[in-house]
Structure 1
Amino acid sequence: MKDTDPPLTPQLLLQAYRVGVFPMSEGRNDPEVFWVDPKRRGIFPLDGFHISRSLARTMRRTKFTVSFDRAFRDVMQNCADRDETWINDTIIDLYAALFQSGHAHSIEIWDGEKMVGGVYGVSIGGAFFGESMFSKATDASKIALAYLIDRLRSGGYQLFDTQFLTPHLASLGAVEIPRRVFQEKLAAALDTAAYFNAAGRHIPHAQDVIQRSAQIS
């Protein structure tokens, strides 16, 4: 951000998301932040995520456990712990503040006491803005995504923004749409009430997540 720009606060960040803009940094150690408004936007149709047979088998057999909002900052730190990242300390602090106010959430995947996967994002109205995910074990991020989408469906969300479309996300059902179409979907979602914690602290059984996905997909 330039010196003439207003200071980046959690409130300004929420305003930016409401108009379809989000912040990024050039790198982990770069203190600057810039705004991004892609011409084409990646989204996850909430009825388009399909749990493959191999992923379902992993979810049934795995020893991993799942939690929600247990270690938000740690998820962000793990997402930033890579050679190339757009997450710097400013962004971590800002999103941690959004988490404290109930506007950001995380899903964590654990192997015993070790976190091996996770995903986090911002929640406003019926829109969820997926920010980043990480995996330190086979399929850990996919499992986190499966539980996240199940939670968004049950909470009444209308839009799951992925910002950009990557080959990995496309293989899981994400699609790309023009900015104009995204803005229309965003406006409708923001006008909808949704509740990330509609199910409370209950962690659904893997088979229930798989079954619900099969019924909707």
Structure 2
Amino acid sequence: MNDPGNPAPGALEAVRGFVDTHDIYNGRDELADVEAATEWLTAEGLWGKGRSMTGRELSALHELRDALRAMAAANTLGEQPPRAAVDSFNDLAAPHAASVRLDVRNGSGPMTASLRPHEEGIGGVVAVLAAAVHEAVLLGTWTRLKSCDNPECRWLFYDESRNRAARWCSMRGCGSIVKARRYRDRQRRSAGHAP
């Protein structure tokens, strides 16, 4: 049902937004082709205006998006992410460096630190998203980024529930659909085994 819910904290929201460019439920993909991907990334401030993208770079973005969704789906189930998804993420992120950037606010407040990419284009996009995942893992927010457990949706959402047990992007939408489907399946199975 694609309920955007609450935004993920900090840079993790960029990861959620990136993965949700593929709206499975409604059959839309903001990264469907080079032109669409360039437009979306430029609008998000991740791609320089006038910069071109290759088909190979687009394929890397799709691979990264799939790996991130698979890792978030593991969070939904409280499991370790699939080794293939982690390896794919690591392979994509490895060649693209980022460095620590410290900032001091004028007046008062603590010093902040962030990871900034060394390059533009695809390397910069991958580095920004990898840095956001890195930060979320360190802060303990990564496991709250989940993929809707409705296989027809798989929308990423940030789980703010106290017990961290949310499984659907929307309880009223996808949660109701999945629970009703499971109930009907149980009824059919028990009717088939009735004496």
Q: Sort the TM-score into its range (normalised by shorter chain).
A: under 0.3
- Which structure shows the higher helix fraction? 2
Query: What TM-score do you get using the length of structure 2 for normalisation?
Result: 0.25
- Which structure shows the higher strand fraction? 1
- Structure showing greater radius of gyration is 2
Query: What TM-score do you get using the length of structure 1 for normalisation?
Result: 0.23
